[in-house]
């Protein structure tokens, strides 16, 4: 039997729906971030990256690069295996201490990625609590959804940031053990969870809280611990998860919490036990980044200033950006084909790289360009971005802000009050 046609049909389906993803071959310039070289079909071209999650440019920071290079020379390039086989490298131990201190928790545990820390962390925690029900925000990241699914426990989904709906579900769960899972900054819409309100309800109804700060660590709070630190509620959250691959500029994920919880995850989680550890050089680089951002406001202040300038420039041009209180600037297109065409034009003719965001990352009809300014996107680059976007909008006859009536808020899936128990299947 020839199995190839199954895969070819699957790819054809994506092409027909305008959801087939192509990746530009990009060579980042560590000395001139956010500039890069695009290896285009016509040959290498200089471009500017406007959609990187290296939000503060820490991937090219001298302290981070130096720590990685020195440690690689001293310890070698790899980790040598899993931590259960090869032991804990000193560098990972120091990193976990640094992360626990960052979030004011007793202990931290490092994973190979933020995806794994969520999927493995949530599933393991929930499996260890008999009869636990997970109550999850409807816009949680796929890694959190996978963690809930892998736990095999029942779940309930509350409407995004809707405290009234969350309370209904907590009441319906009764005396059962409960875990409320949510994010601080939602990366596609750029909005922020009411963390204090969620903690109030969790405490009232006896639930644990699990907070994903992936898009906030390094950037919010006086030491860069995230929105929970900024809002003064970090001590009220049971488990805080984060990544080392965005604002900290390296790679890896982690969870922090009480020692007994972290030790249980370390001892039971397959995604931790059976995976090769982060190399010492990566851990050392991440530690250098975390330490630097604990004491430096320069990067956060610089990013905040440039984000405000980008939002102002796009508003002045009448472009349909979603209003957000964060560093994420979504510009709405509302059509998969048009979104891809806009992205291609920006790259090919203006040297601007912004990857299109289509379904299933966002609901159909809310396709967008997601812009993430950094401290290094200077005023000249911002002016060039606004002019290029305006030209593309005219050429493709895309709707401007005064003609865009719908946003993702009005197109989200309406989940409604859900009874407990709920089926495990679904998103």
Task: Enumerate the active-site residues.
Answer: 246
List Cα–Cα distances, 218 to 58, 133, 289, in angstroms.
10, 31, 9
Whether residue 107 has a cis bond before it, omega within 30° of 0: no
Inter-residue contact 36 to 353 (CB < 8 Å): yes
Give residue 252's region: left, alpha or beta (phi > 0; psi -120 to 50): left
Among the listed residues 79, 9, 1, 136, the one whose alpha carbon sits nearest the alpha carbon of residue 277: 79
- 253-257/107-111 β-pairing: antiparallel
Name all contacts of 386-390 with Cβ < 8 Å and 24+ positions apart.
386/310, 386/313, 386/314, 386/316, 386/317, 386/319, 388/346, 388/350, 388/352, 389/314, 389/317, 389/319, 389/331, 389/346, 390/317, 390/319
Name all contacts of 75-78 with Cβ < 8 Å and 24+ positions apart.
75/279, 75/280, 75/281, 76/279, 76/280, 77/279, 77/281, 78/276, 78/279
What is the layout of strands, in order, in the sheet containing 207-212? Answer: 107-111, 253-257, 239-243, 207-212, 178-183, 133-137, 154-158
Q: In angstroms, rounded to a whole number, what is the distance separating the alpha carbons of residues 62 and 32?
A: 12
């Amino acid at each position: 039997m020839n199995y190839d046609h199954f895969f070819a049909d699957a790819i054809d389906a994506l092409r027909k729906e305008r959801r087939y993803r192509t990746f530009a071959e990009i060579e980042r310039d560590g000395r001139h971030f956010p500039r890069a070289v695009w290896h285009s079909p016509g040959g290498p071209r200089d471009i500017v990256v406007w959609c990187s999650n290296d939000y503060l440019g820490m991937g090219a920071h001298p302290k981070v690069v130096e720590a990685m290079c020195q440690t690689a020379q001293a310890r070698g390039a790899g980790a040598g295996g899993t931590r259960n086989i090869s032991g804990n490298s000193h560098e990972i131990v120091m990193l976990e201490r640094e992360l626990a201190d960052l979030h004011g928790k007793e202990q931290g545990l490092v994973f190979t990625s933020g995806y794994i820390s969520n999927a493995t962390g949530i599933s393991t925690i929930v499996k260890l609590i008999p009869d636990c029900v997970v109550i999850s925000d409807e816009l949680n990241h796929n890694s959190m959804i996978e963690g809930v699914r892998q736990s095999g426990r029942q779940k309930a989904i509350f409407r995004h940031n809707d405290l009234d709906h969350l309370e209904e579900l907590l009441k319906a769960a009764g005396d059962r053990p409960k875990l409320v899972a949510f994010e601080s900054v939602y990366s596609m819409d750029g909005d922020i969870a009411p963390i204090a309100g969620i903690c109030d309800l969790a405490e009232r109804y006896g639930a644990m809280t699990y907070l994903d700060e992936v898009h906030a660590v390094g950037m919010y709070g006086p030491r860069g611990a995230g929105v929970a630190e900024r809002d003064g509620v970090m001590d009220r959250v049971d488990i805080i998860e984060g990544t080392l691959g965005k604002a900290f500029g390296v790679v890896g994920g982690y969870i922090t919490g009480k020692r007994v919880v972290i030790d249980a995850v370390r001892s039971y989680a397959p995604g931790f036990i059976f995976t090769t550890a982060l190399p010492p050089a990566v851990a050392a680089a991440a530690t250098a980044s975390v330490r630097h951002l604990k004491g430096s406001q320069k990067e956060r202040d610089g990013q905040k200033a440039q984000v405000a300038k980008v939002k102002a420039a796009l508003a002045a041009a009448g472009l349909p950006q979603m209003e957000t209180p964060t560093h994420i600037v979504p510009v709405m297109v509302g059509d998969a084909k048009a979104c891809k065409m806009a992205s291609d034009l920006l790259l090919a003719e203006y040297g601007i790289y912004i990857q299109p965001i289509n379904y299933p990352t966002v609901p159909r009809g809310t396709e967008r360009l997601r812009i993430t300014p950094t401290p290094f996107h200077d005023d000249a680059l911002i002016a060039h971005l606004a002019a290029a976007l305006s030209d593309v909008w005219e050429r493709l006859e895309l709707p401007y802000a005064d003609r865009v009536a719908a946003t993702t808020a009005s197109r989200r899936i309406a989940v409604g009050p859900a009874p407990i128990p709920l089926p495990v299947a679904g998103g």
